[in-house]
Amino acid sequence: MIQFEWAWIFYAAPLPLLLRLLLPRADAIKEAALRVPSLNPFAIEAGTQPGKSSQRRWLLLPTLLAWLLLVTAAARPVWVGDPVELPVSGRDLMLAVDISGSMQIEDIANRSEQVSRLAAVKEIAGDFIERRVGDRVGLILFGSQAYVQTPLTFDRKTVKTLLQESAIGLAGEQTAIGDAIGLAVKRMLQNPQGNKVLVLLTDGVSNAGEVQPLKAAELAAKEGLTIYTIGIGADEMLVNTMFGAQRVNPSAELDEKTLDAIAKATGGRYFRARDSEQLNQIYGELDKLQPVTQDKQTFRPQRALFYWPLGFALLLVSLLVLPGASSGVGWARCCAHAVSRITHRVGKR
Assigned domain for 231 exists: yes
Residues 68 and 160 in one domain: no
316-333 in b/e form (b: 16+ CB < 10 A) is beebeeeeebebbebbee
pLDDT of residue 47: 45
Residues 96 and 64 in one domain: no
Assigned domain for 1 exists: no
Assigned domain for 183 exists: yes
Residues 168 and 257 in one domain: yes
Residues 219 and 315 in one domain: no
Residues 97 and 241 in one domain: yes
Residues 144 and 266 in one domain: yes
pLDDT of residue 228: 94
- Full residue range of the structural domain in which residue 323 is found: 57-82+305-343
Low-confidence ranges of the chain (pLDDT < 70): 26-36, 38-58, 84-90, 192, 238-245, 289-299, 322-349
Residues 331 and 274 in one domain: no
Residues 320 and 220 in one domain: no
Nearest to 176 by CA among 207, 199, 149: 207
* pTM for the model: 0.60
Can you tell me the distance from the alpha carbon of 339 to that of 345, in angstroms, rounded to the nearest whole number? 10
Q: Are 275 and 110 in contact (CB under 8 A)?
A: yes
Can you tell me the distance from the alpha carbon of 201 to that of 230, in angstroms, rounded to the nearest whole number? 5
Residue that terminates a domain, selected from 263, 281, 298: 298
| Tally of structural domains, the chain | 2
What angle is formed at CA 256 by the lines to CA 199 and CA 101, rounded to 5 degrees?
A: 70
Residues 137 and 191 in one domain: yes
User: Strand 297-299 vs strand 270-273: parallel, antiparallel, or unpaired?
Assistant: unpaired
**157-173 pLDDT, tens digit each:** 999 999 999 999 888 88
pLDDT of residue 48: 46
Q: Are 99 and 302 in contact (CB under 8 A)?
A: no
pLDDT of residue 290: 52
Residues 214 and 289 in one domain: yes
Q: Are 228 and 286 in contact (CB under 8 A)?
A: yes
**249-277 pLDDT, tens digit each:** 777 888 899 999 999 999 999 999 888 88
Can you tell me the distance from the alpha carbon of 204 to that of 222, in angstroms, rounded to the nearest whole number? 26
C-beta atoms surrounding 151 within 10 Å: 14
DSSP-derived 3-state class of residue 162: helix
